């Protein structure tokens, strides 16, 4: 890879120099770094699987030869597929840590000091990755998404959605949550997870449901009791906003209260300071729907910050999951090998992260198409200067 004499452009190969090569050394003709760079570039440039990556590389052979050594020529899609299956996902993702840190640090001076990063942790199934012959259901991925900057911080694969509870603490151990607000849905509302976030010097906003039966009911009753007299007996912070888009109008009402001393189990939740309620009333095609969600949080009183955290977690569906399903066709992937599916899923999440850093006015889908059409634009996305 051509190394540019600039503090702002780092050779992609540098991030992977310490990655152990899992391939058999016999008849090894392709350099590990070359193969990984091709995978990254191809996935950004609209390739969704090993075969498409191989075809993309062949179509852009002349351009790739300007940057990579390629002693064995352009690799076949079979070679790409074998590599993705052989790479250990944890080690592969670990190589991106410095790259991600660099992305998170970009334009930091332009960010208001009051704007804390919101890290949404959520799970998503790869629906067609099941393998009935081996008795395996769809692969389930838990992702950590930096909402403000649009960066995937990490992911962890599990065989079942029920394993999400054990996957979340492990994922949190791999990322830096210091100074951030971590949001997790009800499956992650666990005392150990809350304690881990506080230990990492972050704050949490955790959704409550029936899995925390006593606590959930206590919060519901506390809010319900005080709403009857319009919170005349306790200080309350409220905030309302209206969000329009895709033919739907959402009216969002947020309520925040300090944790009452009498709240059941209060002392067993590390850092617990406030409780919250969010009401979403939606109008679409003449129909009205509503939902109410309850939260526990380590945040101090400040309802707008609470609202930003809740709204930020809801946005993971639009900014990450929807993009993965529609733009990157993740649910169509039929990769049966778990390592290959995990590694390709990570490449797609990282590709979204890079595409979101572009400052043009195009959508992520259009930026991806442009990267596939124009190698100069692709070079800009990954931060390399053309030779």
125 in a domain, yes or no? Answer: no
The 10 Å Cβ neighbour count of residue 324 is: 20
At 159 the pLDDT is 66
At 361 the pLDDT is 92
* DSSP secondary structure letters along 222-263: HHHHHHTTTTSSS--EEEEEEEEETTEEEEEEEEEEEPPTT-
Q: Angle, to 10 degrees, between the axis of helix 32-44 and the axis of helix 50-59?
A: 100
Q: Token pair of 95, please?
A: 């190589």
- Give the C-alpha separation, 375 to 38, whole Å: 13
At 8 the pLDDT is 31
CA distances (Å), origin 183, targets 100, 205, 296: 20, 5, 10
- Give the C-alpha separation, 302 to 358, whole Å: 32
| Domain count within the chain | 1
At 132 the pLDDT is 59
354 in a domain, yes or no? Answer: yes
173 in a domain, yes or no? Answer: no
370 in a domain, yes or no? Answer: yes
Burial of 259 (0-12, 13-18, 19+ CB in 10 A): middle
219 in a domain, yes or no? Answer: no
Burial of 127 (0-12, 13-18, 19+ CB in 10 A): middle
270 in a domain, yes or no? Answer: no
Residue ranges making up the domain that contains 33: 12-103+339-382
At 120 the pLDDT is 95
97 in a domain, yes or no? Answer: yes
At 321 the pLDDT is 81
Site of tokens 């729907």: 289
133 in a domain, yes or no? Answer: no
101 contact partners, CB below 8 Å, separation of at least 6: none
Q: Angle, to 10 degrees, between the axis of helix 375-382 and the axis of helix 32-44?
A: 110
**Residue ranges, the chain, pLDDT below 50:** 1-10, 108-111
- Give the C-alpha separation, 351 to 135, whole Å: 31
């Amino acid at each position: 890879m051509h190394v540019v004499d600039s503090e702002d452009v780092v050779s992609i190969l540098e991030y992977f120099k310490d990655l152990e090569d899992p391939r058999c050394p016999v008849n090894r003709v392709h350099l590990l770094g070359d193969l990984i760079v091709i995978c990254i570039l191809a996935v950004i440039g609209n390739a969704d699987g090993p075969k498409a990556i191989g075809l993309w590389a062949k179509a852009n052979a002349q351009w790739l030869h300007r940057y990579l050594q390629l002693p064995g020529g352009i690799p076949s899609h079979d070679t790409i597929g074998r590599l993705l299956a052989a790479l250990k996902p944890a080690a592969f993702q670990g190589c991106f840590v410095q790259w991600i840190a660099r992305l998170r640090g970009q334009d930091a001076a332009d960010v208001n000091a009051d704007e804390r990063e919101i890290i949404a942790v959520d799970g998503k199934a790869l629906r067609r990755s099941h393998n009935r012959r081996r008795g395996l259901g769809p692969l389930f991925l838990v992702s950590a998404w930096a909402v403000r900057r649009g960066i995937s911080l990490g992911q962890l694969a599990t065989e079942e959605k029920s394993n999400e509870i054990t996957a979340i603490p492990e994922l949190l151990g791999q990322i830096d949550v210091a100074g951030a607000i971590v949001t997790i849905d009800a499956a992650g509302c666990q005392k150990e997870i809350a304690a881990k976030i506080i230990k990492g010097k972050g704050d949490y906003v955790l959704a409550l449901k029936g899995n925390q039966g006593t606590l959930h009911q206590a919060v519901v009753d506390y809010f319900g009791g005080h709403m009857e007299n319009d919170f005349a007996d306790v200080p309350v912070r409220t905030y309302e906003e209206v969000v329009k888009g895709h033919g739907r109008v959402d009216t969002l009402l947020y309520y925040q209260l300090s944790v009452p001393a009498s709240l059941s189990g209060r002392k067993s939740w590390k850092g617990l300071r406030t409780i919250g309620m969010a009401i979403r009333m939606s109008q679409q095609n003449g129909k009205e729907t509503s939902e109410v969600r309850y939260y526990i949080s380590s945040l101090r009183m400040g309802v707008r910050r609470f609202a930003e955290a809740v709204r930020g977690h809801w946005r993971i569906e639009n900014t990450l999951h929807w993009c993965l399903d529609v733009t990157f066709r993740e649910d169509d992937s039929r990769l049966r090998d778990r390592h290959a599916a995990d590694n390709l899923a990570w490449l797609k999440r990282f590709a979204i992260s890079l595409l979101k850093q572009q400052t043009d006015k195009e959508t992520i889908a259009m930026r991806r198409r442009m990267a596939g059409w124009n190698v100069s634009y692709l070079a800009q996305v990954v931060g390399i200067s053309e030779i």
